[in-house]
Amino acid sequence: MDLVEVHFAAANKTVFVQPGTTLLAAATLAGVDWPTGCTRGMCGTDAATVVTSAPDALDAPAEPERGTLDRMGLPTGCRLLCSARVRRGAVAVQGDAVG
């Protein structure tokens, strides 16, 4: 199984993780201290703008992530790091989508 590249732009750190890994777990592996709260897709503390190498580089948002993104009014391309799971290719986490 091919690893997925995850780059954290603000920290300029990159890790390679197994498909199915959350972006928050990737941040921890990369040594990036990303703000979190509930870690269950409910609070939105860890929202970030994410750029992917392909449309299916991440699993599509499921509940409760989908509902939280909608409630916060965040644009397409924003994900909750605790909930977004990588699938293939490369993912770049650009920065905090809220602040």
Q: Is 28 in the site for ligand FES (CB under 6 A)?
A: no
Output 38 or 92, the one with its CB closest to ligand FES.
38
Return the number of other C-beta atoms located less than 10 Å from residue 14's C-beta: 14
Judged by CB under 6 A, the residue of 14, 28, 45, 49 near ligand FES is 45
Output 54 or 62, the one with its CB closest to ligand FES.
62
**Dihedral angle sign, alpha carbons of residues 16, 17, 22, 24:** negative
C-alpha dihedral, 98 to 11 to 25 to 77, nearest 10°: 40
CB of 75 to ligand FES, least distance (A): 17
The residue ranges that bind ligand FES (CB under 6 A) are 36-39, 41-46, 68, 80, 82
